Amino acid sequence: MSLLERTDLSRRAYLRTAVAVGGAGALSACLERSGDDEIPRGTDDQRTLPGRQHAWNGVLERDDHGNVRPPEHHVLLALSLRGEPTTEDRETVESSLRTLERAFEWGASGLVFTVGYSHAYFERLGEPPAGVDLPAPTALTEREDPEVDEFDALVHLASDHASAVLAAEEALFGEVETLNGISVEVDLSSVFEREGALRRTGFVGPGLPAAETDLPAVPDAVPEDAPFFMGFRSGFRESQASEDRVTITEGPFAGGTTQHVSSMTLQLDVWFEQDSHAQRVAKLFSPEHADEGLVGEVGERLGDSSGLTSERIEATANDARRRGVVGHAQKAARAREDGQPLLLRRDFNTVDGDVPGLHFLSLQRTVEEFGRVREAMNGTDLAGSGVGTVLNNGILQYLFVDRRGNYLVPPRKHRALPPSAPTTE
Amino acid sequence: MTRNDDSNATRERKPRQYRTNRRGFLSRAGAAAGLVAVTGCLAEDDGTDAVPAFPRVEDPPEAVYVPTHREAMRVLEPLEAGEYTLASMLSYPHPFWLVDGTETVPVEPDSDLGVHMMFTVWDEATGTVIPLDSGAEIRLERDGEPVGTPRLPWTMISQEMGVHFGDNVPLESFGTYTVEVSLPPLGVERTGALAGRFTDGGRATFEFDYDEAFVEEVVGGVEYLDEAVWGRSGALEPMDHAGHGDSQHHGDDHHHDDGHNHHGDTGGHAHAHVPFSALPASGDYPGTHLLTADGAYPQSGDATFVLTVLEAGSRFADERYLLVSPRTPYNRVPLADMALDVRLERDGTTVQRGPLEQTLDDEFGLHYGRALEDVEPGDELTLTVETPPQVARHQGYETAFLRMEPIELRVPELG
C-alpha cells in the first residue's frame, strides 16, 4: 500500500469514526476532514425516483466483474412513534424524506435510504400488513438469545460520503437548517423519538476493517485489503438475489420488500490467530475452495461468483462426512430455489461498542425465506456427521447474534407511516 | 475461591511482560526415570514465568505418545447449568492442535498473558461426561465490562483431562474476571437414561482471580517428564489418578484394557468432583464382539475400536445393532465427531452399507451405531473412517487418530 493510499485510508477510518459517533460535532469534524463539499444535489421530481425504496442496484457502482459495490458508510436509525400516527404525521414524514431526496442525488455519491416498519408498528395499528407475513423477531438458533427490535421504524441511510449520512440524520431530526444547500423545513422530531442507544453504524470497503486493529478485539492479522472483517470479499453477483426476486409482487405492498437485520459480534481472534487461511476458506466457502486454492488471499481470485457450483452445494453433506468441514456459503446456498439465491444482502461491518461485528441486513420477498436460509446455514442436519454442532460447521463458531429485527420496507408511495392496508391513489 | 480485594487498585496495572525461562527443564532433563518437577527453578528473583517452557518431542510417532510434561491447573468448584454440571479448569496459555480433515493446525498462544480455560461438562445423574461439540459459549467480564468478544471453545482431548472444552483466552491484566458459560441443548442422539434429557440449555457464572499467585501455582506446578520417555508410546494417567513418580503408562502394555473403570472412581483425590471421560472397558460391552484374527480389539490410527453386535430387541433397535466405540488407547477417552461408514459383504456381495449415527448413552457413553437388518456369521464387515475425530488435541494426541485405515473383520457366531 502506498503512502498516499495509507493517508487516504487513515482519512477514511477517521470518517468511519465520525459516523459511529454521530451528532453535530461529528458532522462538522467530518466536513472539515472529508472534502465532501461537492456532493451532488437530488431532485424534487418524485417521478424520476424508483418506486421501490430498495432500488439501489441501478445507481450503485459495479466492479469489473459486475458485482454491486455497496456504499461505504451506513447508519441504522431506530425510531419510536410519539403517538398514534395521524394524517398530518404522514405528511410530516413524507416531507422529511423528500428533503433528503432534494438534498442528495439518489446513489452512493449522494444518498440512498429505506424506511421500514416493524411488527410492533402494525400491532399498534391493530392489523398486520395486508398480504405480508411480518412476524415478530425471535431467536433462530438454539444457542442464541437475541434482543429483539420492538421499536416502530428503522431508517437505513447509506452513502460513500460520511458527511451525507451524518447530515441526513441531523436533518431528519431538525438539528441542521440546511442540508447540502437545501433548506430543511420539516423534520421527524414531532412524530418519532430516536432510540439513541440503538443507533447502529458501519462501513464496507477494502482496507477499512484492517484500519480498526487498534481495538483489542480486532487482531493485527485482518488482511490489509479485506472489505469485510472475516477477511474476504462478499456480495458476489451470483450469490445475491436480484431486486426483482426480493420484491413483493402482490397486494397493497407490492413493490416493497421485507428486511431482516441481525446484529452480531464477531470472534476474530480465534478466526485469524488460530485457524489457518485454508481453514478459513473451507469454513467460509467450501473445503474444495480451500483444497483447490480458488479464493486467493481475500477473494481476489473469485470474479462475480463465490464459485458455488451446484455440485459444490450438493456436496455439502458429503464434505462434512469426508472432509470434516463444511463452508458457510455452501451450506446456506442449499436454500436456493432453482439455483437462485433468496436473499439480497446489504450487510456491513461495525465496531459499535468497540467490538468488531456485522450488521447483517438482508432483503427478501418474505421473512420466512430468511428463516429458511438461516436454517440451512445452521447446518443442524450435518452435526454429528463429520462436523460438530458448531465446530467446523461453517462459521457458526465466530458469530454471536445480539439483536434481530424484521421490517416491511413498503414501496416508496407507502413509505410514510403506512396503514395496514393502504389504498393506492 | 478467594476474591482479590485489591482488584480496584490493580485495575489499570498490567503485569510485567514475563520472559519464559527455559533453564528449568533443560537443566533437569536427565537420564533418570520418572517425573522431574521444576517448581524450585521458578522462584527466581525476577519473578515467575507467565508460561512455562513447552518442549516438543522431535519427530513424534503417528500414535499416542508420552508428552514432555504434565500440565498444572487450578480446578474450580463444579457448577450447575440447567441439567448440566460443569467444572472449569484454568491453566497457562499453551499450544494445542486443531484438526482440519486429516491434518493438524498448530495453535500457539498469541500472548503469554491469559489463561487456558477448560471445562468438563457432565450429567451428574449418570456421571456421563459430554464428549462432543455442543456449542458451549463463554463470555468474560471484568468490573461489569465485557473482555474481548465471546468465544466458543474447542472440543479437545488431552491425556490428563480427557474430553473437555477449551481455548487460550488472552487477558490484558491481572484482576478478577467473571465468566458466563452458556450450554445449548444437546444436539446428539441420546439413548438410555439420557433419552429426552438436555433438551434445554443451561447457564452458569463463576469468577476467578488472575494474579501472581495463580500464575505461580499453575506455572510452578508443571511437572516435566524425563526426556528419555518423551515421545514413547504411552500416555499420562488421567488427572484424578495422578500418582507420584508413576504417572504414565509405558509402551509395553500398549492397549491394555483391564476392565478398570474410571467412572465413579474419583473419591478421595484432589479433584474429587470432576469425572474423567473414560468409556467403559471393552469387556463391559454386551453382545458379540468383533475381534481381529489374533483375537484382539481392532485398531486404526492408534485408536482402539470396540465393535459389538447386540442382539435384536436391544434398547437401540428392533433388529440387531452394531455398536462401535472408538477410544484412545490407555485412557479410553471417547473419540467424537467422526464419520464412520459400515459395509457388510457376503460371498462378495454387499448386503448392507451406510453411515453410523453418533449416539450418547448413559451406559456405553459415546458410540456410533446402526441397526443391522441382515447379518450372518462369516460376513465380511468393513468399517471405514470417513473423517477422523474432529476434536482439537493437547500434546501427545496430535499425531494419533488422523490417518485411519479401514477396519476389516469377519463376523463370528452371533450370540
- Could you report the predicted ipTM of this complex, rounded to two decimals? 0.89
Residues A231 and A277 in one domain: no
**Can you tell me the mean pLDDT for A96-107?**
98
Higher pLDDT, A199 or B265: A199
The tens digit of pLDDT for each residue in A246-271 reads 999 999 999 999 999 999 999 999 99
Closest Cα in chain A, distance from residue B399 (Å): 17
Query: Between B102, B133, B185, which is nearest A391 by CB?
Result: B133
Residues A225 and A291 in one domain: no
CB-CB neighbors (< 8 A) of A145 in chain B: 182
Residues A229 and A303 in one domain: no
* Three-state secondary structure readout of A259-294: EEEEEEEECHHHHHHCCCHHHHHHHHCCHHHHHCCC
CA distances from A149 to A93, A117, A143, A371 (A): 21, 11, 19, 17
Instruction: Say if A241 falls within a structural domain.
Output: no
- Determine the residue among B14, B390, B393, B403 to mutate to test chain A binding: the one whose Cβ has the most chain A Cβ atoms within 10 Å: B390
Instruction: Say if A99 falls within a structural domain.
Output: yes
Q: Count the neighbouring beta carbons within 10 Å of the beta carbon of residue A170.
A: 19
**In this structure, what DSSP letter does residue A119 have?**
H
Task: Output the pLDDT for position A424.
Answer: 67
Half-sphere exposure of A405 (CA within 13 A, CB side): 30
Query: Which residue, of A235, A255, A289, is where some domain finishes?
Result: A235
- Determine the residue among A229, A268, A272, A392 to mutate to test chain B binding: the one whose Cβ has the most chain B Cβ atoms within 10 Å: A392
pLDDT at residue B6 above 60?
A: no
Instruction: Say if A158 falls within a structural domain.
Output: yes
Query: Between A266, A274, A391, which is nearest B149 by CB?
Result: A266
Task: Output the pLDDT for position B252.
Answer: 39
Closest Cα in chain B, distance from residue A220 (Å): 11
d(C-alpha B40, C-alpha B21), whole Å = 12
Residues A132 and A274 in one domain: no
For B282-410, CATH gives 2.60.40.2480
Instruction: Say if A360 falls within a structural domain.
Output: yes
What is the extent of the structural domain holding A339? 265-404
Nearest residue in chain B measured CA to CA from A268:
B149
Task: Output the pLDDT for position B243.
Answer: 35
Query: Which residue, of A235, A257, A287, is where some domain finishes?
Result: A235
Grid cell for residue B295: 483375537
Tell me if A389 and B107 make a contact (CB, 8 A cut-off).
no
Instruction: Say if A229 falls within a structural domain.
Output: yes
pLDDT at residue A291 above 70?
A: yes
The tens digit of pLDDT for each residue in B332-390 reads 999 999 999 999 999 999 999 999 999 999 999 999 999 999 999 999 999 999 999 99
- Determine the residue among A322, A390, A395 to mutate to test chain B binding: the one whose Cβ has the most chain B Cβ atoms within 10 Å: A390
Residues A23 and A150 in one domain: yes
Of B23, B50, B29, residue with least CA distance to B224 = B29
Nearest residue in chain B measured CA to CA from A402:
B150
Instruction: Say if A321 falls within a structural domain.
Output: yes
The tens digit of pLDDT for each residue in A169-195 reads 999 999 999 999 999 999 999 999 999
The tens digit of pLDDT for each residue in B65-118 reads 999 999 899 999 999 999 999 999 999 999 999 999 899 999 998 788 999 999
Task: Output the pLDDT for position B96.
Answer: 96
Residues A24 and A165 in one domain: yes
Residues A349 and A278 in one domain: yes
Nearest residue in chain B measured CA to CA from A318:
B386
Residues A211 and A80 in one domain: yes
Task: Report DSSP letters for B2-13, one per residue.
Answer: ---TTTTTTTTP
Tell me if B105 and A400 make a contact (CB, 8 A cut-off).
no
Closest Cα in chain A, distance from residue B189 (Å): 9
pLDDT at residue B4 above 90?
A: no
Residues A199 and A304 in one domain: no
Residues A393 and A277 in one domain: yes
Task: Output the pLDDT for position B10.
Answer: 28
Residues A78 and A178 in one domain: yes
Residues A53 and A195 in one domain: yes
Q: How many domains does chain A have?
A: 2
Nearest residue in chain A measured CA to CA from B185:
A142
The tens digit of pLDDT for each residue in A50-82 reads 999 999 999 999 999 999 999 999 999 999 999
CB-CB neighbors (< 8 A) of A139 in chain B: none
